[in-house]
Each structure stands twice: as C-alpha cells, then as structure tokens.
Chains A and B, each alone.
Chain A
C-alpha cells in the first residue's frame, strides 16, 4: 500500500512537471514573432541592425518569463516536491 502511495506521488510529480512545461509553447511562438518582425525591420532598414538586434534580444528575454516560471515549477516538482510529499505522507501515517 505504501509503495502504491509513493508511486502515485512520484508519478504525479513527473506528470505535473511535464504538464507545466506545456507553457513552453507560448514563449516559443512569441519569440518567433518577435524575431520575424526584427528580421523584417532589418530587411527594411539594414543600417539600424544593431539597435534592432539588441531590442529584440531584450524583448525575447522578457517574453521568456512565463516559460521560465513554468521551468522553475517543473524543477521544483522534479527535485524538491517528491521528497517533501513523501515526508508528509510518512508523518501523516506516523511511520
């Protein structure tokens, strides 16, 4: 029974981490749009390539934020949460 409970905890954490990383789709699409527009801008005005590139990198980094939140949650779910939950289970059943 205990093995089953710990198995459910580990599986749930892994599934949760996987689901959390679905959020990676959003920043991917957003950054793709940003880079596409930057390419268009450089094609139109090649002389301001430096400015456009630095602004684009800046915007990409900001757009990445939601993806990084998901990444942090996934890392917590994989490396931190299982131990905590197993400890919680052990204290609950008094083992």
Chain B
C-alpha cells in the first residue's frame, strides 16, 4: 500500500520533467532566461501567466505530500519499520528545533516549519533533475515571504492592535517611518535572500558551462571533424560546483528561511503584554461570572 505513495511521489516529479520536455523549447543551456510561460489566463485587472516555476512548485508540493503519506502509512506502536523511524526522526528533529528557537507557546508551529523546510529544500533540489527550480523565481519566494509577513503581523497583534501600533513609536515617535520601512523590509529581504542565492548559483553554473565549452573547443581544435566540437571539459567539472550550488546552498537556504521565520514570529510576539491581557480578560470574565451568579441569587430570592 505504502509503495503506491512512493511511486506517486516519483511520478509527480516525472510529470514535471515530462511537461518541461514537451512544452519548453529546447536550448543548449546557454541562454539565461526566466521561467518559461506556458499560457496566460485572462483576468480582469492583469493577465495571470502560468509559468514553469508554478507548475514545478505544484509538482514539488505533490511529491512532498505523497512522500509524507508514504512515510506515515501503517504506523505501529511496536516492531516499527524503517519508514516509521525516519518519520519519527523528522518529527522529533523539527519539534526540537521549534522548541529551542521559539519556546513552548509556539510548539504548534512545528508542522508549518517542517512544510517550509521540505518545500524549499525539495524545490531547490529539483534543479538536480534538470528542472527549473521554483525557488529561483522571485514570485514563488515572495509568496512565501508575504505569508510569513502576515504571520508575524498576526502574532504581533495578539496583544491588541493598540500595542502593535505603539511598537512603531519605540523608542522615539520620530523614528516611526524607519520602523515601518524595517517592517516592510523583512519579507523583501527574506525573499531576496533565498531567491538571490539560488538564482546566482544557477547563473554561475551556466556561465561556467559556457566558459568550459569555449575552452574545450579552443583546446581540442586540433582534433579532426566533429570530435573537436564535443565539450570534453563539461564532463564532471560542473558537477563538483553543483555539490555546492545545488545541494549545500539549497538546503542551507531552506534551513535559513525556516530559522528566520521562527525568529521573526517568536521575536515579534509581545509575550508580557499578551500574558497581562490574558490575565485581565480572565479576571473580567471571573468578575462577570460572579456578578451574574449574585444576580441569579437575587432573582431566586
């Protein structure tokens, strides 16, 4: 049963490759361009383009979903399988990470952080399959960063909108414009950091591939005929760089995006004010209950 989910997970990545092979015009990997636009949907204000990045992103979402289902089908309490061990290890690690970085109150954030880690990591790693990595498109990352921005604002408003507005006047009311700018800069810097790292990696890879092609053409030009045109230097050497740019940088950026999400959400949360407000509310509710009780007694009399 569980193997079906694994096959579906692989199939969803294969679907992304198939879509790329069928609809993206072939290139020799030398032109640097953005995501290929498959088609545009007519919308009232602005047309909505469906790009390679969106399609790949949905394929990665499906792959992660089926992978999670594969890991968690048939859970047992004893005599557990390796799949379940891996699933438990992931859950334990992410819960520990969230607990150490955010504190007890935010423990429910663990699934969200795991989702960010998985999605971002697999998106960056999809470039290993020759796909356009969704994380090198600013639109995808900006969407995640705006989601995180809404989360930060929601948790800052937990202690009441007045305290949230007052926090802009800290430490000086004159500094309010700067505080607003730094508030807006948070999602922008998060989006640019992730997108810039992945995109610069892919651009450098393309430049090195082009350079190696030219170098091998000029080095092996003494060979006769068509054998001289083959880029011998492009065998193996770009793969070494791919270890840094695709594997290390992709996983590191996913981790950093998750850590920054945790730090911003937990750091913006006004814990003391929230506790005071909660206490006040409880006291008011208790007083109200006591009053209604005495009122009820009067009515009985």
Residues of chain B touching chain A, judged by Cβ–Cβ distance below 8 Å, are 32-34, 189, 192-193, 195-197, 199-200, 203, 252-253, 255-256, 259-260
Contacts and interface: CB of A to CB of B under 8 A. Distances in A.
B252 A65 contact: no
21 contacts: A57-B255, A57-B256, A58-B259, A61-B256, A62-B260, A65-B189, A65-B192, A68-B192, A68-B193, A68-B196, A68-B197, A69-B189, A69-B192, A71-B200, A72-B192, A72-B195, A72-B196, A75-B199, A75-B203, A79-B33, A79-B34
A68 B193 CA distance: 6
A31 interface: no
Interface string A63-85: 01100110110010001000000
A61 B200 contact: no
Nearest to B189: A65
A61 B192 contact: no
A61 B196 contact: no
User: What does DSSP make chain B's interface, helix, strand, loop or mixed?
Assistant: helix
Interface residues of A, number: 12
User: What does DSSP make chain A's interface, helix, strand, loop or mixed?
Assistant: helix
B196 A71 contact: yes
A54 to B, nearest CB: 8
Contacts of A71: 196, 200
Contacts of B33: 79
Given A71-B196, A72-B196, A58 B189 contact: no
Contact of B193 (A57, A61, A75, A79): A61
Contacts of A69: 189, 192, 196
A58 B196 contact: no
A65 B197 CA distance: 10
Contacts of B192: 65, 68-69, 72
Nearest to B263: A58
Contacts of A64: 193, 197
A75 B255 CA distance: 25
Contacts of B196: 68-69, 71-72
Contact of A57 (B189, B199, B252): B252
Interface string A37-57: 000000000000000000001
B234 to A, nearest CB: 23
A28 to B, nearest CB: 14
A61, A62, A71, A75 pick with most chain B CB within 10 angstroms? A61
Contacts of B256: 57-58, 61-62
A33 to B, nearest CB: 19
Given A68-B192, A69-B192, A61 B199 contact: no
Nearest to B259: A58
A79 B200 contact: no
Nearest to B197: A68
A57 B193 CA distance: 13
Contacts of A62: 193, 256, 260
A58 B255 CA distance: 9
A58 B33 CA distance: 30
Contact of A65 (B193, B203, B255): B193
Interface string A18-33: 0000000000000000
Contacts of A79: 32-34
B250 to A, nearest CB: 13
B301 to A, nearest CB: 67
Nearest to A79: B32
A17 to B, nearest CB: 12
Contacts of B203: 75
